[in-house]
Amino acid sequence: MPAKLTSDLSFRDSPRAPRRVGRPSAQEASDLEKAVLQAALAEFRDVGFAGASIERIARMAGVTRSAVYRRHGDKRQLLERVLQLQIAQLEEQADAVILPSDDPLTALRRTAEAYCRFVISPTSIDLQRIVIWGAGARTRAEMPSIPSVPETLTRQVDRRIALAQDAALLRRAPPGLWRTVLLRLVTEGPRWEALTTYEPWTEDQIREDFDRMWDAFIAIAGA
């Protein structure tokens, strides 16, 4: 299981970590790697790829700049590693939300609600901020590409839409079309709120908005 990167980081307000000397043990090496990746996540999230500095990342992690280069190569390779771990964490969450149900429409609703919750999770919001920073930079070509939706979830949503169509509960249309409509409806409000205000929605707000958007989807796609 990949190491999870915490999202509530505040390196800029923390004193510089002490430099280690000598050859680290296996545990110390693991801790150093985690510290570097956490510092990199915070740096890319806060200033974007173009503005990120290996020097600051090393200082926040309490290691030398050369140590970061030895472990991860250049800045792009370091960003790729950070994104890989973040995406792996979202994939785990996607796997965890697959809930059984005899009713394909109920199964689809549960999956869509679970997706809404993890797309506004701290991990996902951090990932989206990194991508948004890179989208407007001159160095966009250097940014690694990432999927907009984890493949695990895409397959599950498409399969459940097809099952609901077979049961005459949804109108016939390409599953990918209904997936796009559904996921945009249920996530755009809380996602943009989290991205622009740094204040996640309350449980009541998430529930109220999801119920309203689900009803809108059924009005559009229902058979």
Please tell me which residue, 122 or 111, carries the higher pLDDT value.
111
Residue 79 has pLDDT above 90, yes or no: no
The first and second tokens of residue 118, run together, are: 């993890």
pLDDT of residue 42: 86
Residue 185 has pLDDT above 60, yes or no: yes
Please tell me which residue, 30 or 165, carries the higher pLDDT value.
165
Residue 82 has pLDDT above 70, yes or no: yes
pLDDT of residue 57: 92
Mean pLDDT (whole number) for 94-103: 68
**3-state percent breakdown (helix, strand, coil) of the chain, nearest 5:** 70, 0, 30
With cut-offs at 50, 70 and 90, classify the pLDDT of residue 164.
very high
Residue 45 has pLDDT above 50, yes or no: yes
Residue 221 has pLDDT above 90, yes or no: yes
Share of the chain above pLDDT 90, in %: 21
Question: What backbone torsions phi and psi does residue 170 show, to the nearest 5 degrees?
Answer: -130, 150
Distance CA 51, CA 171 (A): 47
pLDDT of residue 102: 72
Domain with CATH 1.10.10.60 in the chain: 11-78
- How many CB atoms sit inside 10 A of residue 114's CB? 18
Mind giving me the DSSP string for 42-80?
HHHHHHHHHH--HHHHHHHHTS-HHHHHHHH-SHHHHHH
Mean pLDDT (whole number) for 171-197: 89
The amino acid occupying position 102 is D
Q: Is this structure's pTM higher than 0.85?
A: no
Mean pLDDT (whole number) for 119-140: 70
Residue 7 has pLDDT above 70, yes or no: no
Domain with CATH 1.10.357.10 in the chain: 87-221
**What is the residue whose two structure tokens read 């990120």?**
52
Question: Within 13 Å, how many C-alpha atoms sit on residue 12's CB side?
Answer: 7
Non-local (6+) Cβ contacts of 143 within 8 A are 49, 76, 79, 131, 134, 135, 137
Distance CA 109, CA 57 (A): 41
pLDDT of residue 98: 62
- What number of helices (H) and strands (E) belong to the chain? 9, 0
pLDDT of residue 15: 44
Mean pLDDT (whole number) for 154-175: 91
- Is the CATH code 3.40.50.720 the one for domain 87-221? no
With cut-offs at 50, 70 and 90, classify the pLDDT of residue 124.
confident
pLDDT of residue 99: 64
Class of domain 11-78: mainly alpha
pLDDT of residue 146: 57
Distance CA 36, CA 60 (A): 8
Residue 68 has pLDDT above 70, yes or no: yes
